[in-house]
Structure 1
Amino acid sequence: MHVAVRELKNRFSEYLKYAQAGEEIIVTTHGNPVARLTRLAPNLQLRASQPLDKLAWVRRGQAGKKLGLPAAQRIRLTDGVSLSDLLREDRA
């Protein structure tokens, strides 16, 4: 299927669905082919967060659960001490 850049821009979601379904879309400018939009091979289909999964300190959230440190690892501030003050003290 051939599609002009303007048409692709106006209906990108629709053409993306065609590509996901396996259709090859040739993008044209003034009738000349300039790009091809195709479905990625399964081994190339990465989740956007996959590079983050390799970092030990990043945890993936679960549906319905809030992210954050476990209660035992949370820092409790004493009355009258602000987080900003603690950070300034630590950085000094």
Structure 2
Amino acid sequence: MADYGVAEARNKFTHLLERVEDGETVIITRHGKPVAELRPASVPSPRDKGPEWQAWYDEFVKRRQARPPLSAPAAELIRAMRDGDPE
């Protein structure tokens, strides 16, 4: 973990982002006191979301596949809604 003052962090922001991309956490300080922390973003994979989420997603896919196909291409439907064409 590395500490940087605000001015130094501003001047080396790209470098700090590279360190964060490599998995390091960077602390930004103001007058020696921590005010911010840069760390890698955690993006959960669908597997990490748990069985409740997976059940919801499976139900969503099932309902989506059960719907009939559209009567016209989406662009035509949007154009008709925009122009007020009755259908």
Q: TM-score, normalised by structure 2?
A: 0.48
- Structure with the larger helix share: 2
